[in-house]
Amino acid sequence: MKLSMRTIAVLSAAMLSASFCSCEDKKSSQADSQPSEVTETAASDTTSASDVKTTAKTTETTAADDKDKKTETTSASETTKADGTTTAAAATTATADAQKPTKAAKKGFDSSFEAAKAYYNAYLKGDADAVYDMLCDEEIEAYHSYLRSTELLEGQNPQVVFKRSNVINAIKQSIGAIHGLMKEKSDVPPEKWTVSLTEELLRPTGENELKDFNKVLSTDFTAASDCGYVYYKDGNDDHSFIGNGCAFVELDGRWYLSYTTIMNAELITYLDIF
């Protein structure tokens, strides 16, 4: 597999030859104190000064008690309000902390060889999501922008045509095809197979070739490499077959599976876009 704009030409030729088909009580209560009912008994026509004094004192004491109760009730209410405010503030803080975005996992690989190993391991395990997560977001957007500048999709939005679910479905079909060949060759389950991958199989992309690639996609990849012929081997009877090639691009010191290359070479036949 060769990283170059010939891969885009493959898509262009295929698309131009066919039509596109698809595409958010408080309840408050207040107790009113009722005045005590005073009943007078006429034991004599006159009331002693002592009785008057006693009555006055009793009245004063009752009033004082009522005042204390009212004060106590008010204080309790204010305390509850203060506690409520504190609780709400704490809850707000906790909610804000919970809503803070978590740090995204670092994407990409340290080298093209590490990226290639992860790619083929994902194929052996049948993990289509892992394959998709190896892609570079910048290249995905650049590829879609390139398609929008052409008439290849007949006005359809590339982000819809090539949405994640569609691409992952194509990857699953590609993995299924590889696993199908394994079943034809051997009884060894796919996850037990190996791939004849070595660092020597990764060919660095030439400077001019990379420059042309960046020019067409308006990207700034600093390096790229292609993985040519690899063999899937069952490990027992040495049954093998030539597998799917791939290419990788480097951006900001991290290596990614080339979206443009895998789309136009490995996945184009599994995408329902014609």
DSSP state of 109: B
Q: Per the structure block, which two tokens stand in for 2?
A: 């060769």
Gap between the Cα atoms of 216 and 219, Å rounded: 8
| Rounded Cα–Cα distance for residues 171 and 131 (Å) | 8
Decide if 226 contacts 2 (C-beta within 8 A). yes
Q: Which two tokens stand for residue 218?
A: 């308006």
pLDDT score at 210: 97
| Model confidence pTM above 0.75 | no
Q: What angle do CA 123, 13, 141 make, to 5 degrees?
A: 55
CA pair distance 193, 52, nearest whole angstrom? 109
Mean pLDDT by 10 residues, the chain (274 residues): 52 40 37 36 37 43 46 41 43 46 68 97 97 98 94 88 95 97 94 94 96 97 94 88 96 97 89 70
Please give the structure tokens belonging to residue 152: 């290849």
Q: What are the structure tokens assigned to 87, written together?
A: 């609780």
- What percent helix, strand, coil does the chain show, rounded to 5? 55, 10, 35
CA distance 4 to 210: 7
- What per-residue confidence (pLDDT) applies to 93? 44
What is the C-alpha to C-alpha distance for residues 230 and 65, in angstroms, rounded to an integer?
Answer: 95
- In angstroms, what CA-CA distances link 45 with 24, 40, 42, 54? 77, 12, 7, 18
CB 243 within 8 A of CB 252: no
pLDDT at residue number 153:
86
Specify the pLDDT at position 271. Answer: 86
- pLDDT at site 154: 84
Q: Which two tokens stand for residue 156?
A: 């359809």
Domain locations along the chain: 112-257
Q: In this predicted structure, what is the pLDDT of residue 228?
A: 82
For residue 203, report the phi and psi dihedrals to the nearest 5 degrees.
-95, 120
